[in-house]
Structure 1
Amino acid sequence: MNAEIDFAPLLPLEWLAVLAAISAAAVVLSLVLRSPGWALRGLAALALLTALGNPSLTQELRDPLPDVAIVVIDESASNAIDGRDAQTEAAETELAAALDALARDPDAPMEVRTVRVDRRSESVEDADQGTRLLTALEGAAAEIAPDRIAGAILVTDGQAHDPEVFSNFPAPVHVLLTGREGEWDRRLALQTAPAFGIVGEEVDVAFRVEALGDAPEEATRFARVEVRLDGEIHTVVDAPVGRTATLPIPIEHGGSNVVSLSVAMREGELTDRNNAAVFSVNGVRDRLRVLLVSGEPHPGERTWRNLLKADPSVDLVHFTILRPPTKQDGVPVFELSLISFPTRELFMQKIDEFDLIIFDRYRRRGVLPNAYIENVARYVRDGGAILIASGPAFAGVESLYRTPLRSVLPGRPTARIFEQGYRPEVTELGERHPVTAGLVHENAVQAAPSAEDADPGEGPTWGRWFRQIELEATSGQTVMSGASAAPLLILDRVGEGRVASLASDHAWLWSRGFEGGGPQAELLRRLAHWLMKEPELEEEALTAEVAGAEVTVTRRSVETTPGRLTAASPSGETLEAEFVEVGPGRWQATIRAEEPGLWTLTDGVLEGVAAVGPPAPKEFENPVSTGAVLAALADASNGGVMRLADGMPDLRRVRPGRTAAGRGWIGMARQEAYSVRDITLTPLAPGWLMLLLAAGLALGAWRIEGR
């Protein structure tokens, strides 16, 4: 029970002050005039003023509320290294016992609420946020009235990445530090890491190896940095510690080039989790150089030219042979062409500068000697690409097959030419090959009379072609067939290069829209890009797409069924998942990669890598335990920072606002909060009583003065 006097004035305080001043002046005047009733008149005025002030006795029936102590346990990744997790566990046990003893005090009961900052900071989604220690404390304090908080105890390594959350706290905040004195570590930090690079060129990566804490002198000089490209060792360099170093990285292929930098862990370092950085550079081709050689003018050469010129990334060199050297008809040479055909320059000196060579209805006419054609075959084996778009001459004595180029061609002409209407078809293998996969439905809506008439389930609605050279496939993969089911498009790999043979010169009919046309633009685009080794058209590939912690692995294959996916994390742990077929020749599997870094992926046949998370997790920017980050909050709240290695401090209760930390002890504030069960109001100056009293006193003064 608690009692106190409250006032509820019947008039504004300003008016009461004026009345009190007038009454006091009148009493003083009576005193000066030596009026014998001045005292009674003063008491009468006081009675009236008291009645106007309306005093009452307020009695509250209170129930005491226990104080609340908040304990925040840091279970982040950095607080689990170097034995800190064992320190944390031991400290939590001792704190629980000490706080339980304080909580049993009947005069100052107390509750204990424990909050854990779990290892989400180690997961990919939160790897860039670090340890949100004070955010966890804020969430716990938000559920408690400020006048009930006795204090907070943070068991942590001191690495909190949200110090701006609190500028003050309504009770003492104590920091119990894990770790030990004299800790040190080294960190590899990326300064600049480009997102894109030109294939065949180099990009500059700037990085810095930093020494943290009390590092020994030998660890502050040089660090050996190992550089890996797509999981394979590229180079090893010695980088100065504490200074930014720049390293050129070659971009060897299009698509994702995964680069990892790592520094070997030295004895005495806290962890190697910050000794590596992984990032991905997307390789793009600057300009694709294509040489198109047309053996004679015909309607189809414009199709090739329009396709290649429409791609802004393609540099096209196009020559059409208008007249063979043996043809002499008296027409001056300068009237036939602006420049002579630079055969030696193109096919001997600069042939390796081209990404693709297309022979379009080319026939042997003495323009290219066999030595030049042999060099083209060498160019293919060394990594080049050629496409043979066959015309009628390919079946005869003027065929390119009757040159040294036959050693790299995948199909042998039988000398038979089909001169009949037929519709090109994608073979069963072609349905799985990325060059022709999905082409069956590419033109379905466009070729149908209306959108409602398009039925992808009924096969292609392409227009017919009317000529095909019969080929016998001697190697490679037949992805399209034509008349009499003969091979129409054969793809092959020869040495380091690639070859495609298209056994017809009637693809231009599709571009003209004959009988609805067909997907000639998409087919020829894919074909050219496959020959130029664009990674999205690889028929045997294992690729990964990373979205947060979710890694989707796609396996493409035209012949095999993949086994189980095995994914190895940077720490060596493995995950397995089953591939699910999502289309002809395409399978996918999804894993959840909670650990940032370079993951190695394999299905038992192919291998790949995936860079998960940021280049370097914020959690390990500086793993050295320190009280500097939280010292300002502890000082502002009258708390303290102590290291657990020096022993567990004693716990005491202190009054609010007093210093709550000293040598070997920390204190919880005694807030003495309560809740009110009942309130009783008793008027101390009822109006009628005060009026009678004032009247009696005034009457007494009058009687005295009247005598």
Structure 2
Amino acid sequence: MTQLRFDPLLPWWAIAALGVLALLVAGFALWRGLRGWAWRGLAGLAAALALAGPALEIGSRAGLSDIVILIDDRSASQGLPERTAQADAAVDAMTRQIAALPNTELRRVTVGDNDDGTLLATEMARAIAAEPEARLAGVIAVTDGRLHDPAMLPATAPAPVHVLLTGRPQDWDRRLVIEEAPAFGLIDQQVTIRLRIEDQGAVPPQAQTGSANLRLSLDGEDEQVLAVPLGQSITLPLTLDHAGQNVVQVGFDAPEGDELTDRNNSAAITINGVRDRLRVLLVSGEPHAGERTWRNLLKSDAAVDLIHFTILRPPDKSDGVPVNELSLIAFPTQELFMERIGDFDLIIFDRYSVRGILPPDYYLNIARYVEDGGAILVSAGPEMAGVESLYLSPLGRILPARPTGRVLEEPFRPRLTEEGQRHPVTAALPGSGAEDPTWGRWLRMATVQPDPDAQVAMTGIDGEPLLILDRVGEGRVALLTSDQVWLWGRGFEGGGPQLELLRRIAHWSMKEPELEEEALLADVSDGMSVRFTRRTMADSAGPLVVTRPDGQTEEVPLSDAGPGRFTADWTAPEPGLYRLADGDLRRVLALGPAAPREFEQTVASPAALQPLMTATGGGAVALSDGMPDLRTVDPGRSAHGSAALGDWIAITPRDAASITGLERRPLLPGWAWLLLVSGLILTGWLREGRPGKAAPMAPTMPG
């Protein structure tokens, strides 16, 4: 590479002025008729050019090799029938043919699995940007064409982009598409899931049935089978029956005709069940110092609808007060305890005495309400030991303890039992960590004899049961044998966790999942990593049996993490629906997306890459038709086509080079410029003094 450069000895304006002056002198000489005007002008211009310092810059070039990028798609969809073998053969063939080309290098890029799917466009754009544009001769992608980042695809490229498409002409697939699914739903209210089942590819005649059997189950139980039309969106109603995670499994039977995969035939959807409002009925007996404790607790929770029924005066009391002045309205006991009792999540009896206000049928109805899944909480005082005790009413059959008739009045400090340290209602209560709790003392409690199946979580004086928890039928019962919990709220002797304890008791009664004493929890922290937590009242737990999506089972040992808690950290091998079991406890866990993204679209297609191929002159070749031949063509010519021996694709050699060195040589040495300018000046002078045609002489006068 040779170029003319200038290294001026004077500023350019001075050189330009000298050149202009030379032209003016030559013009003046021409006007005067001097024969050397041209040589004078050339001498001035030569002097100006000499001052400009012209030089030849000679560069040394080194040729650069061409670069071909080979993108090898190894995502999960490439593992479908025959695609792995096709990709292996294509990559080997292209590698050999590129290696056989002179002055050509190969850059191989492998695209693997990603949580966001196949990021082939991102990898392609990154690979193209990493290479010099002047050296890139071609891009070849061995793929099924299913990419999940089309926005990252370059608009064009400096060389042809080709696609070697894996797959078979007879490929087809039937898939489940979840169009809409809620993340949250209200308990005991309907939520809807919208979905469709669609076919893709060359559907064989035996599979063209027009409908499919859809299987639907909630938390792995009570599977329902529905016949649904193909290719149409349908809406499925569901009713969530518990708080926390509800795993909905939807799938259909595999069709006839050997579809590509059954990985997209089912989906697992997690819907978190939440309560709209917690409806609580608080029945207070005679007024006492801690009466407002429960009311303040429940009213402080915006999610609680509270109805408070306080008995201020028993019917048998005669004090001369007119009946019409005892209350503003008649309390609707018939409606609350008979007609609408099922609307409540929890009924609390706070120091309630049986004084003939509620008929026996009401107590029987409350007992049936608990056995059918309701909950009651009894906060008892001295009345528990008397003849007006709730235990002596028809409600006594569901209470977890029998009163002994004694009331102990002396200061005592509540303590957790061994069961209490495990039960989530009382476990890790603030201040309970030490052997001697830091709580304030209570002053009174009634003594009871707990049922054998009941759980004593806290004790009081001489180890007497203080907090007793029990399950009755489908419902729950909690009994607190002292009315002194309000002392903690007042800060007596330092107080204690009053609100936290009462909140836990109330929410356990209402079956909140985080307070279940027998529970199997799974916390998905990052990707496929899961922490299993087994809560139990037993001394040991596990191993946990995990059933994978493919049906294989694995045992995961659990380690002791504290009283009643056993944990294990585990990493799932793949997304999907996992079933967990420990004894009689079962749980369904959905990991990853509702359906694996790699298998949402499985039939191979180059459509997503077609705009880039069109813009660069490249083309797509189906590997099922045979391996294409690799050629070289000049830029601007067609880079793909068909021949008698099969399809072919081409790259465009770039003939790139780099400058390895530069040498600058003056156009003429200084003495040569001096001779040139002097010679031009001398030639002009000689040209003017050379004899020529004489000018006419003037006549002379005779003397």
Q: TM-score, normalised by structure 1?
A: 0.89
Cα distance in 1, alignment partners of residues 19 and 258 from structure 2: 81
> Hey, what does 2:107 align to over in structure 1?
113
Cα distance in 2, alignment partners of residues 16 and 176 from structure 1: 63
Cα distance in 2, alignment partners of residues 30 and 245 from structure 1: 101
Residue 493 of structure 1 aligns with an amino acid whose one-letter code is R
> Hey, what does 1:602 align to over in structure 2?
581
1:614-642: CA deviation from partner (whole Å, max 9, x where unpaired): 33444333222111211221222232211
> Hey, what does 2:549 align to over in structure 1?
570
Residue 196 of structure 2 aligns with an amino acid whose one-letter code is R
> Hey, what does 1:225 align to over in structure 2?
214
> Hey, what does 2:500 align to over in structure 1?
522
- Report the CA distance between 1:198 and its aligned residue: 1.2
CA, structure 1 residues 624+41, in 2 after alignment: closer, same or farther (shift >3 Å)?
farther
SS at match of 1:671: coil
After superposing the two structures, state which structure 1 stretch, 355-364 or 28-37, moved more.
28-37
Q: Which residue of 209, 225, 244 corresponds with 1:255? A: 244
> Hey, what does 1:162 align to over in structure 2?
149
Cα distance in 1, alignment partners of residues 221 and 71 from structure 2: 43
Cα distance in 1, alignment partners of residues 553 and 25 from structure 2: 97
CA, structure 1 residues 619+8, in 2 after alignment: closer, same or farther (shift >3 Å)?
farther
Residue 64 of structure 2 aligns with an amino acid whose one-letter code is L
Matched, 1:380 2:358: no
CA contact (8 A) 2:124 2:153 kept: no
> Hey, what does 2:74 align to over in structure 1?
75
CA contact (8 A) 2:281 2:308 kept: yes
Residue 478 of structure 1 aligns with an amino acid whose one-letter code is V
After superposing the two structures, state which structure 1 stretch, 27-36 or 625-634, moved more.
27-36
> Hey, what does 2:2 align to over in structure 1?
4
CA contact (8 A) 2:158 2:616 kept: yes
CA, structure 1 residues 34+626, in 2 after alignment: closer, same or farther (shift >3 Å)?
farther
Cα distance in 2, alignment partners of residues 638 and 159 from structure 1: 21
1:571-594: CA deviation from partner (whole Å, max 9, x where unpaired): 345555433333322222222235
> Hey, what does 1:634 align to over in structure 2?
613
- Report the CA distance between 1:84 and its aligned residue: 1.1
After superposing the two structures, state which structure 1 stretch, 64-73 or 665-674, moved more.
665-674
Q: Which residue of 113, 118, 121 corresponds with 1:131? A: 118
- Report the CA distance between 1:97 and its aligned residue: 1.7
CA, structure 1 residues 505+621, in 2 after alignment: closer, same or farther (shift >3 Å)?
same
Cα distance in 2, alignment partners of residues 186 and 12 from structure 1: 80
> Hey, what does 1:447 align to over in structure 2?
none
After superposing the two structures, state which structure 1 stretch, 326-335 or 378-387, moved more.
326-335
Cα distance in 1, alignment partners of residues 53 and 82 from structure 2: 68
> Hey, what does 1:451 align to over in structure 2?
none
Matched, 1:204 2:192: yes
CA, structure 1 residues 75+370, in 2 after alignment: closer, same or farther (shift >3 Å)?
same
What are the residue-to-residue correspondences of 1:374-453 with 2, within 5 Å? 374-441=364-431
- Report the CA distance between 1:532 and its aligned residue: 0.8
What are the residue-to-residue correspondences of 1:465-484 with 2, within 5 Å? 465-474=442-451, 475-484=453-462
Q: Which residue of 234, 237, 252 corresponds with 2:226? A: 237
SS at match of 2:95: helix
RMSD (Å), alpha carbons: 2.9
> Hey, what does 2:97 align to over in structure 1?
98
CA, structure 1 residues 367+599, in 2 after alignment: closer, same or farther (shift >3 Å)?
same
Cα distance in 2, alignment partners of residues 175 and 13 from structure 1: 57
Residue 473 of structure 1 aligns with an amino acid whose one-letter code is P
> Hey, what does 1:668 align to over in structure 2?
651
What are the residue-to-residue correspondences of 1:48-67 with 2, within 5 Å? 48=47, 50-52=49-51, 54-67=53-66
Gapped runs of 5+ residues in structure 1?
443-455
> Hey, what does 2:85 align to over in structure 1?
86
> Hey, what does 2:168 align to over in structure 1?
180
After superposing the two structures, state which structure 1 stretch, 216-225 or 616-625, moved more.
216-225
Matched, 1:692 2:675: yes
CA contact (8 A) 1:205 1:246 kept: yes
1:227-246: CA deviation from partner (whole Å, max 9, x where unpaired): 22122244333334333322
Residue 368 of structure 1 aligns with an amino acid whose one-letter code is L
How many residues matched?
680
SS at match of 1:259: strand
1:355-405: CA deviation from partner (whole Å, max 9, x where unpaired): 112222222322333333222222211111112222222223322222332
> Hey, what does 2:470 align to over in structure 1?
492
SS at match of 1:629: helix
CA contact (8 A) 1:582 1:588 kept: yes
> Hey, what does 1:448 align to over in structure 2?
none
CA contact (8 A) 2:414 2:460 kept: yes
Cα distance in 2, alignment partners of residues 360 and 314 from structure 1: 18
1:462-510: CA deviation from partner (whole Å, max 9, x where unpaired): 2222221111121211000001101111101111011111111222222
CA, structure 1 residues 149+227, in 2 after alignment: closer, same or farther (shift >3 Å)?
same
Q: Which residue of 317, 328, 331 corresponds with 2:321? A: 331
SS at match of 2:420: coil
CA contact (8 A) 2:5 2:57 kept: no
Residue 471 of structure 2 aligns with an amino acid whose one-letter code is R
Cα distance in 1, alignment partners of residues 497 and 680 from structure 2: 115
Cα distance in 2, alignment partners of residues 436 and 24 from structure 1: 109
Residue 200 of structure 2 aligns with an amino acid whose one-letter code is L
1:431-468: CA deviation from partner (whole Å, max 9, x where unpaired): 111110112527xxxxxxxxxxxxx5353222222221
Cα distance in 1, alignment partners of residues 27 and 341 from structure 2: 122
Cα distance in 1, alignment partners of residues 14 and 598 from structure 2: 65
After superposing the two structures, state which structure 1 stretch, 472-481 or 206-215, moved more.
206-215
Residue 154 of structure 1 aligns with an amino acid whose one-letter code is A
> Hey, what does 1:445 align to over in structure 2?
none
CA, structure 1 residues 397+152, in 2 after alignment: closer, same or farther (shift >3 Å)?
same
- Report the CA distance between 1:57 and its aligned residue: 3.2
- Report the CA distance between 1:143 and its aligned residue: 3.5
Cα distance in 2, alignment partners of residues 212 and 42 from structure 1: 85
The structure with the largest alpha-carbon Rg is 2
Cα distance in 2, alignment partners of residues 136 and 321 from structure 1: 75
Cα distance in 2, alignment partners of residues 51 and 239 from structure 1: 93
Cα distance in 2, alignment partners of residues 410 and 681 from structure 1: 106
CA, structure 1 residues 294+545, in 2 after alignment: closer, same or farther (shift >3 Å)?
same
> Hey, what does 1:452 align to over in structure 2?
none
After superposing the two structures, state which structure 1 stretch, 305-314 or 364-373, moved more.
364-373
Cα distance in 1, alignment partners of residues 199 and 425 from structure 2: 52
After superposing the two structures, state which structure 1 stretch, 208-217 or 608-617, moved more.
208-217
- Report the CA distance between 1:253 and its aligned residue: 0.8
CA contact (8 A) 2:533 2:565 kept: yes
Q: Which residue of 569, 574, 598 corresponds with 1:619? A: 598
Cα distance in 2, alignment partners of residues 152 and 593 from structure 1: 36
CA, structure 1 residues 351+387, in 2 after alignment: closer, same or farther (shift >3 Å)?
same
CA, structure 1 residues 15+176, in 2 after alignment: closer, same or farther (shift >3 Å)?
farther
Cα distance in 2, alignment partners of residues 565 and 575 from structure 1: 8
SS at match of 1:523: helix
CA contact (8 A) 2:7 2:55 kept: no
- Report the CA distance between 1:130 and its aligned residue: 2.2
1:327-371: CA deviation from partner (whole Å, max 9, x where unpaired): 445432223233445443333222222211222222232233333
1:202-241: CA deviation from partner (whole Å, max 9, x where unpaired): 1122223333334468648434332221222443333343
- Report the CA distance between 1:80 and its aligned residue: 1.7
CA, structure 1 residues 603+35, in 2 after alignment: closer, same or farther (shift >3 Å)?
farther
Cα distance in 1, alignment partners of residues 46 and 175 from structure 2: 81
1:76-102: CA deviation from partner (whole Å, max 9, x where unpaired): 112221321121111112122222222
Q: TM-score, normalised by structure 2?
A: 0.89
SS at match of 2:517: coil
CA contact (8 A) 1:50 1:685 kept: no
Matched, 1:678 2:678: no
CA contact (8 A) 1:67 1:670 kept: yes
> Hey, what does 2:685 align to over in structure 1?
702
> Hey, what does 1:552 align to over in structure 2?
531
Cα distance in 1, alignment partners of residues 252 and 71 from structure 2: 34
CA, structure 1 residues 376+161, in 2 after alignment: closer, same or farther (shift >3 Å)?
closer
Matched, 1:513 2:491: yes
CA, structure 1 residues 183+327, in 2 after alignment: closer, same or farther (shift >3 Å)?
same
Q: Which residue of 261, 270, 275 corresponds with 2:260? A: 270
> Hey, what does 2:140 align to over in structure 1?
153
Cα distance in 2, alignment partners of residues 80 and 15 from structure 1: 76
